[in-house]
Amino acid sequence: MWKLIPIALILAVSACRPEQYTPRPRGYARVDTPRQHEYRMFDRAGFPYTFEYPVYGQVSSDSVIQAMKPDNPYWMNIDFPSLGGSLYLSYKNISDIGKLDTLLNDAHQMSYFHTKKADYINAPAFHTPNNVHGVVFDVGGDAASAYQFFATDSTKHFLRGALYFNVSPNADSLRPLTNFLRQDIEHMLQTLRWR
């Protein structure tokens, strides 16, 4: 019997070790997209353009730009609060000779600035029957903006857009959202009309 006590003590001490803590793997919150794409018309008086945008988007003025450049009231944002993102739209009137070249250069430079983090950049051109043409920049990888574009009529109007989310860029986690909003942005460009 006395011989069993040391064995019982060894078993008791070895059984009293603290539990090993294993951290949970890092996860991301699930974001549900709307079931279907529905649109409404943006047709604000005095604006040089109209288009259809998603009903789950909210048009707001870009207050930072309005404070810096009050002479250009046509810059705005389409915010997607349920998706945590915004589409920033900037408008310029092409009035000077050579200004279109500068705007095109700037749009390409701002889009290709993301090559530091991008895996690729596809830049297909588009043309619509509404005298709207431009380029859509599909930026792959962990770039800050996965989708950008510019649209113009080459004589008077120039509109640039960039989609950003309110989180650190992670292409895998944001892919469902960027794919969903890509369809909305393409619809917006197809319905864009100049005044």
Q: What is the per-residue pLDDT across 141-177, written as a single tens digit (0 to 9) for each? A: 898 899 999 999 999 999 999 999 998 888 888 999 9
Tell me the domain boundaries of the chain. Answer: 37-194
How far, rounded to the nearest angstrom, does the alpha carbon of residue 163 sit from its chain's CA centroid? 3
What are residue 133's phi and psi, to 5 degrees? -140, 160
* pLDDT tens, position by position, 91-120: 999 987 679 999 999 998 988 887 778 888
One CATH from 1.10.10, 1.20.950, 1.10.3470, 3.40.1000 for 37-194: 3.40.1000
Tell if the pTM clears 0.75, that is, is over it.
yes
Closest CA to 82 of 53, 63, 55: 55
